[in-house]
Structure 1
C-alpha cells in the first residue's frame, strides 16, 4: 500500500508510473505519461486518482483524469489496471488503458513526468 514516511531526506512517497499510447481515433494516437496521485482506501484494498495531458498529435492534445482499479497483489509489487476516455478535443476522445508499474519510491519533492515538445514555426 502507498505510505508516506518522514526520513532525514524529507518525505518519501510511493506512487505508480502510468504511460503508453491512446487508442487510434481519426488516424492518430497520443502518448501519455503520469504518476498516480491520491490513495483511496476501499474494503481493505485501494485505488489511486490520476491526471495528465497527452502529447500533441494532429495539431491538438487531450487532458484526462480518472481512478485506477483496485490493487492487484500486495506489497511493493502490486499494480492497478486502468481504462478511461480523454476529454474531448478537436471533436473526439481517445481511450487510455493499461496497467501501472509496481510501486516506485519518490524521495523529497514529488514531480510529474513533463512532456516538453519542440515547436517548429513554418512560413505559410
Structure 2
C-alpha cells in the first residue's frame, strides 16, 4: 500500500447495539444493529443509529435515534446508553433501551458505510 493510500485510510469505529424491546400487547422484539454517524460534542460524542426489529407476531418495528454521551471517557472502554421509542406497527410501539458495546473497528476507511442489518427470522 502506498504512503498516499495509507494516509487516506482512517480507522472507523462503531458500537454494537442489541437487546429486547419492552413487552407491549403481550410480546416483544429482538433488535441488533451498529451505531452509525459520530456526532462530536463538547469533550464527548454521541452516535446516530437506526434499525428494524426482528419479526414477532407477524410484524416488525423500525427505529432511529441518537445515543447518549460517551461514558467512561472516550477511549477503548467507553460506551453509550440509549433509549428510543419504535415507530408504530400493528397499532402499537415498543421502547428499546440499553447500552452499547465498547467500540469495535469495522473498517479501515472513513468512507465505509454500513446498511441496516436484517436477519432471517424463523417463526415458532
TM-score, normalized by length of structure 1? 0.83
- In structure 2, runs of 5+ residues without a counterpart are none
TM-score, normalized by length of structure 2? 0.83
Give the 5 Å matches for 1:48-59.
48-59=47-58
Higher relative contact order (CA 8 A, sep 6+): 2
Distance 2:56 2:81 in 1: 25
After superposition, the CA RMSD in angstroms is 2.1
Listed one character per residue, the Cα deviations across residues 7-35 of structure 1 (whole Å, up to 9, x for unaligned) are 49x55310000000000000101010000
Q: Which has the higher strand share?
A: 1
Q: Secondary structure at the match of 1:101?
A: coil
Listed one character per residue, the Cα deviations across residues 39-95 of structure 1 (whole Å, up to 9, x for unaligned) are 111111111000000001011100000000000012011000000100000110000
- In structure 1, runs of 5+ residues without a counterpart are 1-5
